[in-house]
Amino acid sequence: MASVSTPARQAAAGSRRPAATDRPRSAGRTGWLFATPFLVFFTLFLVVPLGIGLWMSFTDSSLTGHGDSTFVGLDNYTEAFGDSQVWETLGNTVWFTVLSTVPLVIISLVMALLVYTGMPGQWLWRLSFFASHLLPVAVVFQIWNMLYQPDRGMLNAVLKAVGIDGIGWLTDEKYAMWSIALVTLWWTVGFNFLLYLAALQAIPDHLYEAAALDGAGAWRRLWSITLPQLRRTTALIAVLQVMASLKVFDQIYLLTKGGPNGSTRPILEYIYDTGFTNYRLGYASAVSYVFFGVIIILSLAQLKIFSRRED
Amino acid sequence: MTTQTLSPRTPGKPRSTMPREVVRRRRYGGHAWHPTLGTGLLPRVLTLLALALMAVVWLVPFGWGVDTSFKSEVDASASGADWIPKAGFTLDAYRTIFGQGNLPVWALNSIVIAVCVTALTVAVSAMAAYAFSRTLFRGRRVLFALIVASIMVPPQILIVPLFRQMLAMNLVDTYAAVILPQVVAPAMVFILKKFFDGIPRELEEAARIDGAGSFRVFWSVVMPLSRPILAAVAIFVFINTWNNFLWPFISTSDPQLMTLPVGLSTVKDSTGLQNAQQSAASILGSLPLLIIFMLFQRQIVKSVATTGLGGQ
């Protein structure tokens, strides 16, 4: 594998120019030929459902109503903007995004820095930190549901052993979202960890050697070389993580069903509940599109912040 | 930000295939100097301690699940943090699960679905990425912008319309319903296009002069050069498909078509609180990917690096 990757990598450095092509005429047909299979899937299973969803958001379509729905204009959207549940669940989603993104960036960086030191046992460290990323959500639920049990769970037993009263990890409004963020950290940190590890390995040794010759100590090298060199990766990981965290649904749905008292309910669960439990597909679609708008605005803002900082 | 992700930091300098540690030892005449640690003993000991501590914290929840799966149901529901059950370890939970008999079916479904989705996604995305990287067809800029923008669409908002579509196409409760919508992976097209952009055109020119057609060039020149990135994409897609919950859950109600994660969640629903059994089911459901990861760890780590995501 290494021998294959080398020429391609070298190549990547050599020819980074905008797509300029040689034979425009026949290339046009070939291009379509190559792109068509993907475009068929893309259209059928992304563009069309997006369109159907958008259409539904302007109707009173419902799960029970066998498709016969009437056009209601912007009614669903007016309702959504005035719906306190929408804002509350959107707030929960953003709160979860903050609670999960910060540790998911920092801890994955710490893990990668520690593993990058080349300590013996590389195989074990990488396995420990990445393995949980491979678990299906049902398994994550099973494990943490046991650990979090208030009266019989292991975490509270450990707390009791050191003399602290057990807490309602998933049942106390004060802690539930933190517990969910903790599960998410445990479950998904491995991917960011691998991205950081790859980035660390790409920092050329001569930077460190030069710094060492100039008498820079280990901490100095960390602050002046390693962290600045990782800035792009950090920006990328933060953007990807925010997008992923905003889409949180599975683990919350399984662990708390949005409770206690709606304190962990993310907006996607509200959409799901409105659509599938209350059968109001039209309204659920409208809320989906409001949420989609929020995601786009947040992503663009983030891209802008990070790309400015890089210049 | 992502435009330069593929270029290595030291252009032109071929990367050594030797492990870094070996290189360093040689260079520093026996002293293992490390760029981030230096040569001191104390930093090394502290690093090792920190690593061990974090690894333990990360492995304990997993270990607890494994431990519970070997307990009797009584011990598994007992309170506290006893790793060694009072009634001793038992294989009862595993026996019960295999007795229920659906597990092999779910595992087979998961394999069929994950393999089909992965193969289709890689093929379809690679071809599209090649078209966007190398050919000038009308509308490619708009199309590519659309594809990149669609990365932001949360898949959950497509679920309801997709389900209706499946009803209309008469595909509910078929493999096709589970597989086809999962083949759309705009992020993979984006990653592959970035990689193809970095392959020098000279190689393709040479093949063309020898009379190779477009498809031949793609298949015999571009594909072999792109093996690491194709492996990375395949790994991402496979993991995601294997663990996907919501869509397989909604698009199938036939137990004969369920994937492992969906099937396992029904075990949870039907039997109430049975910690040992659920843990055993969880372990069995996680094993295939864990084994694959243990076997191919080096390649997987390297693959992530090749996507360029980690490069800069």
Asked whether the beta carbons of residue A10 and residue B12 sit closer than 8 angstroms, the reply is yes
Q: Which residues of A touch B132 (CB under 8 A)?
A: 19, 31, 35
Check whether B227 has a pLDDT greater than 70. Answer: yes
Question: Residue A139 is nearest to which of B40, B205, B285, comparing CB atoms?
Answer: B285
Res. B123 pLDDT band, cuts 50 70 90 = very high
Q: Give yes or no for a contact between A99 and A178, defined as CB atoms under 8 angstroms apart.
A: yes
Q: Give yes or no for a contact between B185 and B121, defined as CB atoms under 8 angstroms apart.
A: yes
- Window A:281-310, CB contacts with B under 8 Å: 281, 284-285, 288-289, 291-292, 295-296, 299, 303, 306-307, 310
Residue from A93, A140, A87, A101 nearest A248 by CA: A93
Maximum CA pair distance of chain A? 77
Burial class (CB in 10 A: 0-12, 13-18, 19+), B95: exposed
Choice among A1-10, A189-198, B128-137, B233-242 with the minimum mean pLDDT: A1-10
Asked whether the beta carbons of residue A292 and residue B286 sit closer than 8 angstroms, the reply is no
Res. B268 pLDDT band, cuts 50 70 90 = low
Asked whether the beta carbons of residue A8 and residue B138 sit closer than 8 angstroms, the reply is no
On whether any CB of chain B is under 8 Å from the CB of A98, the answer is no
In angstroms, rounded to a whole number, what is the distance separating the alpha carbons of residues A105 and A196?
9
pLDDT at A105: 95
Taking residues A214-237, what's their average pLDDT? Answer: 84
Q: Which residues of B touch A246 (CB under 8 A)?
A: 154
Asked whether the beta carbons of residue B309 and residue A126 sit closer than 8 angstroms, the reply is no
Determine the topology of domain A70-310 in CATH.
MetI-like fold (1.10.3720)
| Four-residue CA torsion sign, A229, A231, A237, A240 | negative
Q: Which residues of A touch B140 (CB under 8 A)?
A: 31, 35
Taking residues B81-108, what's their average pLDDT? Answer: 80
pLDDT at A64: 66
Check whether A311 has a pLDDT greater than 80. Answer: no
Question: Any residues with CB less than 8 A from the CB of B202 and at least 6 apart, and which?
Answer: none
On whether any CB of chain B is under 8 Å from the CB of A253, the answer is no
pLDDT at B309: 54
Asked whether the beta carbons of residue A135 and residue B279 sit closer than 8 angstroms, the reply is no
**Structure token pair of residue A223:** 């602050």
Q: DSSP secondary structure string, A68-120? A: ---B-TTHHHHHHHH-HHHHHHHHHHHHHHHHHHHHHHHHHHHHHHHHHT--S
Asked whether the beta carbons of residue A11 and residue B79 sit closer than 8 angstroms, the reply is no
* Residue whose entry in the numeric block shows the structure tokens 């309910």: A265
Burial class (CB in 10 A: 0-12, 13-18, 19+), A298: middle
In angstroms, rounded to a whole number, what is the distance separating the alpha carbons of residues A219 and B186?
41
> DSSP H helical segments within chain A, as ranges?
2-14, 24-42, 48-56, 75-82, 84-116, 122-130, 137-148, 154-161, 176-201, 205-213, 218-221, 227-229, 231-246, 250-255, 267-272, 281-310
Res. B272 pLDDT band, cuts 50 70 90 = low
What angle is formed at CA A136 by the lines to CA A134 and CA A137, rounded to 5 degrees? Answer: 125
Q: What is the pTM of this model?
A: 0.81
| Four-residue CA torsion sign, A204, A210, A213, A218 | negative
> How close, in Å, is residue A261 to chain B by CA atoms?
23
Dihedral angle over CA of B299, B304, B306, B311, nearest 10? -140
pLDDT digits (tens, 9 = 90+) for B42-94: 778 888 899 999 999 999 999 888 888 888 877 777 777 778 887 778 888 88
The phi and psi torsions of A173 (rounded to 5 degrees) equal -55, -30
Asked whether the beta carbons of residue A117 and residue B312 sit closer than 8 angstroms, the reply is no
Question: Residue A53 is nearest to which of B134, B137, B158, comparing CB atoms?
Answer: B158
Give me chain B's average pLDDT, please. 79
pLDDT at A13: 41
Report whether the peptide linkage leading into residue A120 is cis, meaning its omega lies within 30 degrees of zero. Answer: no
ipTM for the complex shown: 0.80
Select the residue from B24, B157, B237 to test the A interface by mutation, using most A Cβ atoms within 10 A: B157
Res. B8 pLDDT band, cuts 50 70 90 = very low
* Residue whose entry in the numeric block shows the structure tokens 């998933």: A170
pLDDT digits (tens, 9 = 90+) for A54-67: 988 888 877 765 55
Asked whether the beta carbons of residue A131 and residue B264 sit closer than 8 angstroms, the reply is no
List, in order of start, the domains of chain B with CATH numbers.
101-271 (1.10.3720.10)
Check whether A156 has a pLDDT greater than 80. Answer: yes
- Window B:95-134, CB contacts with A under 8 Å: 123-125, 127-128, 130-134
